[in-house]
Amino acid sequence: MIEKRDFYINGQWVAPSQANDFHVIDPSTEESCTVISLGGQADTDAAVAAAKTALPGWMATPVEERIALVEKLIEIYPTRAEDLAQAMSMEMGAPIDMSRTQQVGAGIWHLKNFIRAAKSFQFERPLGDHAPNDRIIYEAVGVAALITPWNWPMNQITLKVGAAAIAGCTMVLKPSEQSPLNAMIFAEMMHEAGFPPGVFNLVNGDGVGVGSQLSGHPDVDMVSFTGSTRAGTAISKNAADTLKKVHLELGGKGANVIFADADDKAVKRGVLHMMNNTGQSCNAPSRMLVQRPIYDQAVETAAEVAGKVTVGPAMLEGRHIGPVVNELQWTKIQALIQKGIDEGARLVAGGPGRPEGFNKGYFVRPTVFADANNQMTIAREEIFGPVLTMIPFDTEEEAIEIANDTPYGLTNYVQTQDGARANRMARKLRSGMVEMNGQSRAAGSPFGGMKQSGNGREGGVWGLEDFLEVKAVSGWTPE
C-alpha cells in the first residue's frame, strides 16, 4: 500500500472536503495498492476558483517565462522517472520495462516538442502586407479542465499540461481514478518547477463526479478530454449549456492495410503493435486488412507471432504484456472474444479466459481472429485489449471501403512498396493520422482524429493552438 495523498490546489496539498475513499487496484494482483479520495463539488469549486484567480497574472506573464518554467519541469522529469514508472506499472499494469521506456518517455518527449514549437510560434503577428494596421493575437482560452485516461497517463497529462501552460491557460487536472498516482507525482514536479499557485491544480475524482462538475462548470472555459467516445459525448452535452470549448481525443478502430507487395515484416510488425500496452491504445491497428494473395500466409504468421507473445505481471522485468487495467475491462474483452467466436470468425490464437498458469489478475490471452468481415462486432467495436481481427480484401478500392466503413477515424496504417499507391491511400483514408510502412510520426506531428474519434489535435504547434483563442485587432499602433 502507498500512503494516501490528497488534492493539489492553489500551490499546496489540501485535504478533501468529504470522506469518499476509492481503492486503486493493482491489476496484476487484484489487490488494493492505494486509497485516494474522490473529490466533491466543493473541491472542484476550490480548484476552479484558484485557477480563475491565477489566470490574469499567468496570461500576462511573458511567454518566454512560461517556456522557461516548462524547461525547468523537463530538468526535473528525469529525477522522478523511476517513481513514475513504478506508479504506472502498479496502478494500470504496464510492464515495468515498457513503463520506463514508453510510458515515462512519452511525457518528456512531448514537453520537449512543445518547447521547440513554442520558440518559433508567433503569438502576435501581422495580418499581412495588405493590412499594415491589423494584428492577430493568440491568447489563452482561459481556465482549462484537463481530463486524462489511465492507458497512457504521462503521455496524455503532458500533452495537455505542457500546451496549456505555454499558451497561458490555468488548469485543473482530473486524472483517471484508475491511475492517479503518477499524476500526483507529476503535481509534485510542477510544484518543484515553481509554477505560480493556482496555475496548475489537481483534483482526483471519477467521471460522474468531478468530471461532470468540471465539464459543466461556468468558470471553466475549455475542456480537454481523452477517453471513450461514450464519455466524450456526455462531456459535450454537459458543456453545451456554457458554450465552452471542448477538445476530444476519443476511441479508434484503426485499419492496417497490408498489400501483397508489403515488406516481409509487415504482418509481424502489425501484430506486435496491436499487442503493445496490452492492446490498450486508441490508435491500435486492431483491424488487419490483408490482400488475398498473401492472406493465408499472413494468418499463419499472425497466429505464430501472437502465440509467442508472453504474458506476465507488470512488475516483472522483461518483454511481455501485462494485465488489462481492471475487472470491468477484462469482462468486456472476454465477452467480445466470445462474440467473435459466436459470429463465426476463425480463432487462430488465444481465446477466452486467462492465459495458462494464471488464476488471478486481469490477464488476457493474446488473441487473433481470421476470416472476419467488417460487419462483425469484433470489427465494429473498440475492444481495447490484445485482440486482432483479420479481414481479407481483393482490390485497393475494396480496402479503402472497408477501412473507412467505421464510425471512428483516428489512425490507419498502410503497408505497400508502391509509393504512388501509398500516397493515394493516405489521401483517401478518413482518419486524422495515416502511418505507412512502419514509419512513426515525427516530433511535433499532430495527434487526433475525425468522426467519432474526436476533434482538435494534440502535440506540437497544433497542440498549442488548441489552448489559444485568436483575436483580430484593427487600428494597431506600431510601438
- DSSP letter string over 66-99? HHHHHHHHHHHGGGGHHHHHHHHHHHH---HHHI
Say how far apart CA 108 and CA 81 lie, in whole Å: 10
pLDDT at residue 479 tops 90: no
The band of 5, judged by pLDDT with boundaries at 50, 70 and 90, is low
Residue-wise pLDDT for 314-351, tens only, equals: 999 999 999 999 999 999 999 999 999 999 999 999 99
290, 390 in Cβ contact below 8 A? Answer: yes
H or E, element range at 305: helix 295-307
What's the one-letter identity of residue 24? V
Question: Rounded mean pLDDT of 277-305?
Answer: 98
Residue 422 exposed, middle or buried by CB count within 10 Å (0-12, 13-18, 19+): middle
Q: Which of 298, 294, 272 is nearest to 284 (CA)?
A: 272
Q: What is the percent of the chain where pLDDT is above 70? A: 99
Average pLDDT over residues 191-218: 98
Q: Is the pLDDT of residue 102 over 60?
A: yes
**pLDDT grade for 4, boundaries at 50, 70 and 90:** low
Cα–Cα distance, 247 to 43 (Å, whole number)? 23
Q: By the 8 A CB rule, do 458 and 466 touch?
A: yes
The grid coordinates of residue 59 equal 496570461
pLDDT of 19 reads: 80
Q: 427-433: long-range contacts at Cβ-Cβ below 8 A with a sequence spacing of 24 or more? A: 428/400, 428/404, 429/255, 429/400, 429/403, 429/404, 430/404, 431/254, 432/457, 433/283
Residue 449, helix vs strand vs coil: coil
Cell 492472406 belongs to which residue? 295
How many Cα neighbours within 13 Å face the side chain of 442?
3
Q: Grid coordinates standing for 412?
A: 490507419
Residue 279: DSSP 8-state: G
- C-alpha 348/C-alpha 328 separation (Å) is 25
Confidence of residue 191 (pLDDT cuts 50, 70, 90): very high
Element (H, E) at 109: helix 104-119
Residue 438 has a pLDDT of: 96
Check whether 1 has a pLDDT greater than 50. no
3-state class of 32 per DSSP?
strand
Question: Would you state the pLDDT for residue 246?
Answer: 98
The answer to whether the CB of 299 falls within 8 A of the CB of 390 is yes
Which of the residues are catalytic? 249, 282
Percent of the chain with pLDDT over 90: 97
| Chain position carrying cell 477466452 | 352
C-alpha span between 363 and 361 (Å, rounded): 6
Identify whether the C-beta of residue 459 lies closer than 8 Å to the C-beta of residue 115. no
pLDDT of residue 330: 98
β 12-14/21-26 pair status: unpaired
Q: How many residues are there in the chain?
A: 479
Q: 427 with 406: CB under 8 angstroms?
A: no
The burial of 477, by beta-carbon neighbours within 10 Å (0-12 exposed, 13-18 middle, 19 or more buried), is given as exposed
Residue 421 has pLDDT above 70, yes or no: yes
Is 3 a residue whose pLDDT tops 60?
no
Q: Please answer whether residues 88 and 98 qualify as being in contact, where contact means their C-beta atoms are separated by less than 8 angstroms.
A: no
Mean pLDDT, residues 384-396: 98
Question: What does the pLDDT look like over 35-64, one tens digit per residue?
Answer: 999 999 999 999 999 999 999 999 999 999
Average pLDDT over residues 208-219: 98
pLDDT, average across residues 206-210: 96
The residue-averaged pLDDT of 440-456 equals: 96
Give pLDDT tens digits for 121-163.
Answer: 999 999 999 999 999 999 999 999 999 999 999 999 999 999 9
- The mean predicted confidence, pLDDT, of the chain is 97
Confidence of residue 6 (pLDDT cuts 50, 70, 90): confident
**What is the mean predicted confidence (pLDDT) over 178-201?**
98
d(CA 378, CA 335): 10
Per-residue confidence band for 459, with pLDDT thresholds at 50, 70 and 90: very high
